[in-house]
Amino acid sequence: MSKKEKIIHELKAFTWSFLYFLSWFVVLILIKALLLNEYKIHFFGLSTAFVGALIVAKVVLILDNLPLSRKTIKYPAYIHIIFRTIFFSFGVFLMMIIETAFEARHNYSGFIDSLLNVFNHVNIYQVYVNSICVAGALLGFNFLSLLNRYLGKGGLRRILVTPFPENPKSSK
């Protein structure tokens, strides 16, 4: 595979990953906005969804190449999916904790104190909600990635655009 083909392959993988996570995050932002609107709090977070999708898509593609992830290949597919989902979700949760501590460093005497008090921070429940939603997105992503790997190039798309076959029992 030439360098140009590798770059095109990576860009396609990144684009599909980004679009997948962007759709999940836009739905998450929409749910948040609707819930907060009930309390007359206006919330706009589409830029957050966009940036979050960019970051998660790239991190997932990087983590996908780690040897730790490849060692689960010898186990059944559901073990592979569960392991990758837990592994990726834990990484996302840690990054959200660090981000929350970084944002709250001014309320404490620095980043380390903020990190030590992050679970007492007012936004910790937002971190929990976002982590749960991202874990759901990662579970779906890992399932679709594995399914696409089994079906081969274009297999998942072929299944999705092909009409259902006729039911043999109904044609009698």
- What's the DSSP call for residue 169? T
What tokens does 163 get?
């009409």
pLDDT per residue as tens digits for the range 15-72: 999 999 999 999 989 988 898 888 888 877 888 889 889 988 988 888 777 776 566 7
Q: Could you tell me if 46 and 10 are in contact, meaning their C-beta atoms sit under 8 angstroms apart?
A: no
Assess contact for 87 and 64: CB atoms under 8 A.
no
CA distance 95 to 55: 11
**By three-state DSSP, how is residue 164 classified?**
coil
171 pLDDT higher than 60: no
pLDDT at 89: 92
- Taking only the tens place, the pLDDT of each residue in 88-100 is 899 889 988 988 8
**DSSP category for residue 163:** P
Cβ distance 38 to 2 under 8 Å?
no
Residue spans per domain, the chain: 7-54, 66-155
pTM reported for the whole predicted model: 0.81
pLDDT at 70: 63
Phi/psi region, residue 26 (left: phi>0; alpha: psi -120 to 50; beta: rest), is alpha
List pLDDT tens digits, range 106-162.
Answer: 888 888 888 888 888 777 888 898 899 999 999 999 998 888 888 887 888 888 888
